Amino acid sequence: MDNEKFGNFIKELRKEKGLTQKEMGDKLNITDKAISKWERGLSFPDISMLNSLADFFEVDISELLNCERGAKQEVDVEALIKEAIEKYKNIEEKRKEKIKNKKIRI
């Protein structure tokens, strides 16, 4: 699952509902900062939230995971989660390396 594509899809669905990140967060009992991270492709929602998100946006979970409407199909959730975790780890490694390089320059 592409983290940027997922983030853009969540943002698109949120805007269709005419909600700010704060308003969406209030409705789902999560922070607007978490939603911001999803939308920027920096993290993914916890797997336990997928049903709530799909219900909230009135889409099928497979549409949510495939990041497009009408993309209802069998989805290997475990494989998608593993892929997302690997991408997140890569993002974190790059972030840590960037911080490390800044410290070296000082």
31 phi and psi, to 5 degrees?
A: -85, 155
The string of pLDDT tens digits covering residues 60-83 is: 888 888 888 875 556 676 777 788
Q: How many domains does the chain have?
A: 1
105 pLDDT band, cuts 50/70/90, is low
Expressed as residue numbers, the domain containing 21 is 3-105
Query: Which domain CATH number covers 71?
Result: 1.10.260.40
The string of pLDDT tens digits covering residues 12-68 is: 999 999 999 999 999 999 999 999 999 999 988 988 898 999 999 999 888 888 888
Give the per-residue pLDDT at 74.
64
Write the CB contacts of 82 (distance below 8 Å, at least 6 apart in sequence).
none
